[in-house]
Amino acid sequence: MARTLLTFLLCIYLTLAFCVIYTDARKRVTKIGPDAVTPGRSNFTYICDPARYAQLGLDIKSFPFCDNKLSYQVRARDLVSQMTLYEKVRQLGNRAYGAPRIGLPEYEWWSEALHGLSNVGPGTFFDDSVAHATSFPTPILTTASFNESLWNTIGKAVSTEARALYNLGHAGLTFWSPTINVARDPRWGRIIETPGEDPFVVGTYAANYVRGLQDVEGTEHYKDLNSRPLKVSACCKHFTAYDVDNWKGVERYSFDAKVTEQDLAETFNRPFQMCVQNGDVSSVMCSYNRVNGIPACADPQLLKQTVRGDWNLHGYIVADCDSIEVMIKNHKWLNVDNETAVSYTLQAGLDLDCGVYYTDNVENAVKHGKVREALVDRSLQYLYVVLMRLGIFDGHSQYNSLGINDVCSNVHIELAAEAAREGIVLLKNDNGILPLATGKYPSLAVVGPHANASIAMIGNYAFDPWNKGTPCRYITPLNGFSSYGRVNYAAGCSNVHCPDGSLIGPAVQAATTSDATIIVAGIDLSIEAESRDRLDLLLPGKQADLINQVANASKGPVVLVIMSAGGLDISFAKNNPKINAILWSGYPGEEGGQAIADIIFGKYNPGGRLPVTWYQADYVDKLPLTSMQLRPDDSNGYPGRTYKFFNGPTVFPFGYGLSYTKFNYTLKAATTKLPIKLTKFQHCRDLPYKNGTFKPNCPAIAIDDLRCRKTFKLAVEVKNVGNRDGDEVVLVYSQPPVGIVGTHIKNLIAFQKVFVAAGTSKTIQFAINTCQGLGIVDSNGNALLPSGAHTIIIGDGAIVSPIQLTYG
């Protein structure tokens, strides 16, 4: 009894000696932290500090996992081998309990960094000593900039603030961001989190943002990627075919996504493949839904074969929170019990459970012979290699100096404003009414439910009001326009639902007495959000009435600003001559109000492009959200989805965006012929062609059978023929040979944003991999490179260039 008590007291002493305990609004977690700056912090910057082990009364030489001369794989294997089964399973949840016996502290895996640090997730917390972090625009708006370097730079800024909070004992270093599901349908509530509807754009955004988060300068091209140092660890989510949250009683927790192999390869999986292979992300999160009958987190083909095997993930796979419980209680998959469920997910390749099902059930599953302990060991090794790469075991000295002055710095605040300015899209500008001349309009009516928006601008996965923490500051539209004139403000509606017209009168009055009118309308998280899909594409309540009445009463120019993620049918405003200009501002982050005002008054020339199609309202009447097919479904009369497969009328198409200047394109050079010599091991594949169209003798070759080293090149001169400097986004599409059945209408294969001063020109060079630029996916999910006459389209069709691919 005395020995048991002594052991118990020793464990308590050891735990308190190296752990810092804090409590947030939902969970109590224990974390290691860096050198003490505030009371209650650990005195140790990293786990394998010799002084730390000495203070714990442990001999560090007895623990080879602390020998930094050994590889991370060897060290992780030793660490896991020193644990008992009970200790092992206690590390498999988002709250890893540590193992005091061997000096291993607790760790909380769950933090979020979708567009800045967040108080969502127990791994990061804010209080009076660290109260703020920079809140950048939500990804859907940042994507509209089509600026890869901007995406990367934001990632770097976010990871710098993350490292600073880690040093201050307020964050871990594992962040379950970004969200990279394709925005397949405009009704999906989480479009706010995504980079849009095009899988290539989504994947390119993911790779750049992840690189910004993870890359340690100078180690981007590390020889052994399993030991490449990490600034922070990112996670691409939610894999896969996840884009139904809660629609007409259908919830993500029980939804079975029926998808074809073609759509999986071509659309749903492609961004994740790019995130793993191009971004070298260190984690992938599986989703709640089933995919063709199997829960995504229990599917070995998706996790073990595809993510881990085919794509060669250097990291771990984590479940969306409580996914195992969802699998049992909502999907009722195979009517399995808890132990059987965790055995299936471990065997499928799921390493970490956000929740308690692994922690509570894996030990018995092993003891009862349902899963091998070796699989537990394998998962833990993946997890601890990531923590070692982060420096949690050995430290990353280059980040030791980061602290509170690196959070909400002037550079980061300006970057948030720049991101909003670059993403905002000009949708209408009749007679060049914008930009408004500074000083010409001394009084401004600023009206609408978002005219004084603050919290709405930062969207979700930012700062939940029930936890401490806020952005660095809010610059509302009202604040922004106040720097350009005397503002007459009227909300016009009590909120975005605008249930009646009782507040329209004051807004109309403001418009009649002001020199110019800005209406800031749209939707918010009460209409589109996680667990909240939309039923229609219209402005809610009386907002359209508010907009029309104010526009009709205004004595000066009228500018409509829309805040939303998904598209809205605002045809009434597009066609109303009294509404002179329209801007889409997404959810523009903490600096959004200033960015909107700066664009309207010409301090910045807009250059953003829509990353999603804005459909007409009746689109949602033609097909259910739950129909996963991208191509038109003629048997049910369903139209296609996204610009790649929908050829009907739109309010505004994908890639649309105006400028205050005008650009002309000239094709300076282009590859027109691509002969490919085949070996005896490369065999022709058939493709279905429409009757009456030419079919080559060798229709296609499997991309897996090709080396895919060839590129084709384009040189495009972009000339600014207007009188204002500006940014232009050059979009390059390909079309497959005419006649192939079931292919896309067009497919974005490259893009580049370029600044061109007024009256000057710049030439952009594109070198595009042939397989990536001209390949297609057939109905069986096979990636093929068709022969024949392909077509390259630049912009909205200003340049069309043929390219002939032949096999011989």
Catalytic annotation, residues: 320
Q: Do residues 76 and 388 make contact, with C-beta atoms less than 8 angstroms apart?
A: yes
Q: Which residues of 536-558 are buried (b: 16+ CB within 10 A; e: fewer)?
A: bbbbbbbbbbbbbbbbebbebbb
Cis peptide before 240 (omega within 30 of 0): yes
Closest-CA residue to 511 (of 483, 492, 484, 497): 492
Put residue 692 in one of left, alpha, beta given phi > 0 → left and psi -120 to 50 → alpha: left
What letter would DSSP give residue 304?
A: I
CA distances from 406 to 50, 173, 519 (A): 29, 16, 36
Q: Do residues 795 and 665 make contact, with C-beta atoms less than 8 angstroms apart?
A: yes
The pair of three-digit structure tokens given for residue 753, joined into one six-digit string: 């944003």
CA distances from 751 to 144, 412, 614 (A): 12, 26, 20
The pair of three-digit structure tokens given for residue 751, joined into one six-digit string: 């893009």
* Whole-angstrom Cα Rg for the chain: 28
**Alpha-carbon span 349 to 299, nearest angstrom:** 8
Closest-CA residue to 566 (of 536, 589, 600): 536
Positive or negative, the Cα torsion across 416, 421, 427, 428?
positive
Does residue 603 sit in helix, strand or coil? coil
**Alpha-carbon span 458 to 585, nearest angstrom:** 12
For tokens 């956000």, the residue is 354
Q: Do residues 773 and 789 make contact, with C-beta atoms less than 8 angstroms apart?
A: no
Residues contacting residue 799 through CB under 8 Å, at least 6 positions apart = 665, 666, 667, 716, 792, 793
The pair of three-digit structure tokens given for residue 206, joined into one six-digit string: 């993911």
Give Dmax over CA atoms of the chain in angstroms.
Answer: 91
Residue 86 CB neighbours (<10 A): 9
Helix axis angle, 199-214 to 148-167, nearest 10°: 40
What is the DSSP code string of 556-586?
S-EEEEEE-SS----HHHHT-TT--EEEE--
Rounded to 5 degrees, φ, ψ at 51 are -65, -35
**Alpha-carbon span 336 to 786, nearest angstrom:** 45
Rounded to 5 degrees, φ, ψ at 779 are -65, -15
**Alpha-carbon span 285 to 548, nearest angstrom:** 45
Does residue 541 sit in helix, strand or coil? coil
CB-based burial label for 379 (10 Å; 0-12, 13-18, 19+): buried
**Alpha-carbon span 339 to 765, nearest angstrom:** 56
Q: Which residues of 240-256 are buried (b: 16+ CB within 10 A; e: fewer)?
A: bbbbbbbbeebbbbebb
Q: Do residues 155 and 212 make contact, with C-beta atoms less than 8 angstroms apart?
A: yes
Q: What is the Cα 420 distance to its own chain's centre? A: 16
Which residue type does 147 have? N
Cis peptide before 178 (omega within 30 of 0): yes
Which runs of consecutive H residues, i.e. helices, occur in 90-234?
Answer: 139-143, 148-167, 199-214
**Alpha-carbon span 146 to 310, nearest angstrom:** 29
**Alpha-carbon span 481 to 452, nearest angstrom:** 10
